[in-house]
Homo-oligomer: A and B are copies of this chain.
Amino acid sequence: MNDVAAAAGVALKTVSRVVNDEPGVNATTAGRVRAAIERLGYRRNDSARILRRGRTASIGLVIEDVADAFYSSLSQAVEDAALRHGYLLFSGSSREDSARERDLVLAFCSRRVDGLIIVPAGSDHAYLTPESEAGLKVVFADRPPGAGFEADTVLCDNVGGARAGTAHLIAHGHRRIAFLGGSPGIFTAAQRLRGYRQALAAAGLPYDEGLVAMGPPDPARTRADLTRLLAAFDPPTALLAGNGRTTVDTLRALASLSGTADAGLALVGFDDFTLADLLGITVVAQDPVRLGRTAADLLLMRLSGDERPVNRIELGTRLIPRGSGERPPLPRLGRTAG
């Protein structure tokens, strides 16, 4: 900036004014400055600017995994909102590791991001208290913060969605419905299990632990779970898959077990996915774009001075019937009592 000033024969401050489009600079002078900038290939150093102004115009996004369709859609929505408002985006994936979440968050804090959108992997966010007190704005998305930390939160209606999916299967005559969900320690998985149980209870059906299999998405495990379930004395006639990856793993497992007694199993997946329409898979759809946009809007409101009490927003889900969830129970020959 000094060099530019020298080259244009003006003071440092004038260059600053031109660079920042501040009013009160003679058009001719400004032209001379701009020419010098062009000639020298000068680019403002935002690090210095940030240091001086105390505002970075950047926000941090911590999700579980960018390569997952749900989170990449969410990212896209957050990115759009951020860029539209002049914020740059730092992003990182926790990979469901709370230490990595914490490291990312603290690294972003050290960079003095103005705000943070977090899909938490961990359940303790006390480490954010000093930042929050120092004025950092934080919004939690998809999962709430750990107990003891208050912040705006945007969630999907996991309980309602799972309840609706299960009720749908019950309405189609199913009485033995298995639930294949994510790790019970993950908020969304636990909530979906609750919804599943609520629907069973509402229909007067018993809750059978033998019909529940939970854990991190893993094709081999899903296949094993399914094999076990179908080999039982009283196997399920329907499945509720608790998340997108498990739904896909379940489809693969069913395809590979095909020809055996599994065919005709009804299936409802939680979270929509590409080509579910072509495959005829009934799902409880979430709206990751809306989730991301809502979280971003909330954060941007806070960043522009909104001081209202903490929000907790729950977005609805939508059941999309496509065939797999509307199949009636298949009578299982040679296995009925007697």
Contact = CB atoms under 8 A, between A and B. Distances in A.
Contact of A43 (B51, B73, B106): B106
A69 B107 CA distance: 27
A326 B65 CA distance: 35
A251 to B, nearest CB: 6
Interface residues of A, number: 51
A67 B72 contact: yes
A24 B116 CA distance: 36
B41 A129 contact: yes
Nearest to A82: B92
A252 interface: yes
Give the number of copies in the complex. 2
Given A50-B47, A66-B76, A79-B93, A41 B275 contact: no
A255 B91 CA distance: 38
A83 B100 CA distance: 10
A234 interface: no
A89 B130 CA distance: 24
Contacts of A47: 47, 50-51, 56, 111-112
Contacts of A251: 275, 278
Given A65-B76, A274-B275, 16 more contacts: A41-B133, A43-B110, A45-B112, A46-B111, A46-B112, A47-B56, A47-B112, A48-B51, A51-B51, A67-B69, A69-B274, A88-B92, A88-B107, A90-B90, A273-B275, A278-B279
The 7 closest A-B pairs by CB, nearest first: A41-B130, A72-B72, A67-B76, A46-B110, A47-B50, A47-B51, A66-B75
